Amino acid sequence: MTHPPGHRMGSASEHASEHASVPALPRASAAPVTPEKDSRSGFRKGSKGAKGAVATALVAVLLASVGWLVASGVGLGPDSGEKDEASGTAGPDGRGGDTEAQAWAEWRKAHSQLKIGVKADQPGLSLRQGKDDEGNYTYAGLDVDMAYKVARNLGYEDKDVEFVEVTSGNRESHLERKAVDLVIASYTMRESAEIDFVGPYYTAGRGFLVRENSMRHGEIKDSSYLRTKKVEVCTAKGSTYAKDLPSLGFTLMKSLPATYQYCLEQLLSNETNVYAVASDDAVLAGYAQSDKVKMLDPIEGTEEYGVAMRSGTPALKKKVCSAVAAILKDASGWDAMYRKNLAPLLKKPTPGVPDLNPEACPEN
């Protein structure tokens, strides 16, 4: 994929209290009026001059009252109330705050570039390429294409996207210390108090990569052999496999690396006890192009990839929800993205566009 140059790696309003007392309206003073008898009734009426003075005073009182009411936020009708944060109009509960548009405008102003965490070593998903004219690395893969699509929906141009390399083990810390704004790096959606996920934008299978043949184990035909023979398995630190595989009876290497690329190197080395690599089928398919390794049949379970961001950024999350929803709605565009990046590696038809998780984005 050819990317444009310049892709680098990496107030709330105060309102008057609803219970504030209304000040007394100003009194109008007028000169004493000498009444004269109205011949048509028993009532007395004032002179023309007196009536004009009274009318002028009444107008002054009304204008002063209306001005105070407007300035104080006191309602003038059944729809009254302070500005609602979502719509910028009066809210039924009377509470106010910045509008969503204002909150997003402030976030956007503070982030002239969108920093997105991606991986550097996953063919088909996110692989570091050569350098552009400015000497910055470029990247290619489904995650990278997804990153650009999200950024464009957020109003950024491609040149405003800055890629920062992350690993499975440091994705969360990069978000927490604000080194990146988003992470789109085969990141499995999970419950977290620190991270919000929007997605899934892709659903991957689970599997293992093994040597075609090895002196110690010969040809490994299925994952049950790995379990019963306690074959040492490598996976990336911080991945879901690092947590799940031991409970499923598999044996992990003692010190897990940061990247799957390192796992592949361990698998191919004759000086280690690693004879299998565990990861998503989309990840392993990129490494399985060598005639020295092969993928085993997938095991039970799936991994749902999501766009990750720090918790507590509602303006950003709402925009990302809208962006991902629009991307998934464009089925032909999503299919083209899959066929371009993963179909040649997985060698299977388009799996179909995933459904956006309603819990992550209830309004979409």
Q: Are 296 and 222 in contact (CB under 8 A)?
A: yes
**Token pair of 120 as six digits:** 């550097």
pLDDT in tens, 64-116: 444 444 344 444 333 333 333 333 333 344 444 468 899 999 999 999 999 99
Q: Beta partners for 300?
A: none
pLDDT higher than 70, residue 261: yes
pLDDT band at residue 165 under the 50/70/90 scheme: very high
**Token pair of 270 as six digits:** 């004759």
State how far the Cα of 304 lies from the Cα of 326, in Å rounded to an integer. Answer: 18
Which pLDDT score is estimated for 205?
A: 95
Contacts for 346 with CB less than 8 Å, ≥ 6 apart: 124, 281, 282, 285
Q: Are 293 and 217 in contact (CB under 8 A)?
A: no
Flag the least confident range among 196-205, 207-216, 320-329: 207-216
Q: Mean pLDDT of all residues in the chain?
A: 80
Q: Are 61 and 28 in contact (CB under 8 A)?
A: yes
Residue 331 parent element (H or E): helix 331-341
Backbone angles phi, psi at 294, to 5 degrees: -150, 160
Which pLDDT score is estimated for 195?
A: 97
Amino acid at 245: L
Which pLDDT score is estimated for 59?
A: 39
pLDDT more than 90, % of the chain: 64
pLDDT more than 70, % of the chain: 73
Q: How far is CA 127 from CA 79, 95, 360, in A?
A: 55, 48, 28
Which pLDDT score is estimated for 264?
A: 95
Instruction: For strands 114-118 and 195-211, give the pairing.
Output: unpaired
Tell me the pTM.
0.73
Q: How far is CA 129 from CA 68, 121, 144, 339, in A?
A: 65, 10, 12, 19
Q: Beta partners for 114?
A: 161
